[in-house]
Amino acid sequence: MINFPQVHPLLAPVVELALKAGEVILPFWRSGVAVTAKSDDSPVTAADLAAHHLILAGLTALDPSIPVLSEEDADIAQDVRSRWQRWWLVDPLDGTKEFISGSEEFTVNIALIEQGRVVFGVVSMPTNGRCYFGGAGLGAWRADAGETPQPIHVRETPGAGEAFTVVASRRHSSPEQERLLAGLSDSLGELQLANIGSSLKFCLLAEGAADCYPRLAPTSQWDTAAAQGVLEGAGGEVLELSGVPFSYPARESLRNSFFLALPAKAAWREKLLALARG
């Protein structure tokens, strides 16, 4: 039994649920699982659906009054969602393309949202049992399989001899993002790029292994909310390009705007915002 920090009454059971979802996913991994396409042409597998059903049942059992918005059950009218004050935002298998390719870089994401802001998030890695969790004002932790959770925190500057590290997506970029990276390199020196899939990009920042994650390319709400909670608990922040905190309003589209993830006290914060807007 993991000894969880007692910072929120729902945190420990949600971490356990995310780990159980990973156990449901693993038998499908590297097994030649069949892939079908959703209406937006994104892939879905039996593993996505198995994890979705387990998480939906588990969250409903925890508190049936809290509605669930999952990638695999997202066809909920905006006028219904606009009445929600508190809800779960779930990606049962984030990084489905990585999962299909046989990579280990896929996760289970579960976030609790109140009034459009992340209360806490849980990100688990099915292949090794590692789990990240945290929230603004609560703290953030990494728990490796069977071990006591260890607090994690962002780094405000790279250590001596370390390069400024920017997290990028293996699969998604844009001309705007490439221009931003070029501007950062001109301002801060040669960059080291850390390419990793799924919501693990935020987690690298949260544990101080990277410095910045700019995303000037498409994402959906369930891709980011859980890991945003981890990063905010670790002393980071996620901003819209205007500089306001990134949030999850019940708008018609579930697509995110562009965002910047970084340490909240970074000295280069305004430079990053200026480059992103430029």
Least confident of 182-196, 224-238, 239-253: 182-196
Who contacts 109 (Cβ-Cβ below 8 Å, separation ≥6)?
18, 90, 91, 94, 121, 122, 123, 199, 222, 223, 225, 226, 227
pLDDT in tens, 43-70: 889 999 999 999 999 999 999 999 999 9
Q: Are 43 and 36 in contact (CB under 8 A)?
A: yes
Helix spans in 26-158 (H): 46-62, 78-81, 96-101
Confidence of residue 188 (pLDDT cuts 50, 70, 90): confident
Residue 199 pLDDT: 94
Mean pLDDT value of segment 77-96: 96
* Cα three-residue angle 174-180-195, rounded to 5 degrees: 65
- In 3D space, the residue among 118, 78, 84 whose CA is nearest the CA of residue 199 turns out to be 118
Confidence of residue 217 (pLDDT cuts 50, 70, 90): confident
Mean pLDDT value of segment 231-256: 96
Both tokens of residue 250?
A: 């019940």
Residue 75 pLDDT: 93
Both tokens of residue 198?
A: 């799924």
8-state DSSP, 147 = S
Residue 1 has pLDDT above 80, yes or no: no
Beta-sheet pairing, 86-94 with 68-70? parallel
Residue 171 pLDDT: 60
Q: Are 227 and 201 in contact (CB under 8 A)?
A: yes
- In 3D space, the residue among 230, 235, 214 whose CA is nearest the CA of residue 278 turns out to be 214
Mean pLDDT value of segment 260-273: 94
- In 3D space, the residue among 198, 207, 194, 267 whose CA is nearest the CA of residue 233 turns out to be 207
Q: Please give the share of the chain, as a percent, with pLDDT higher than 90.
A: 73
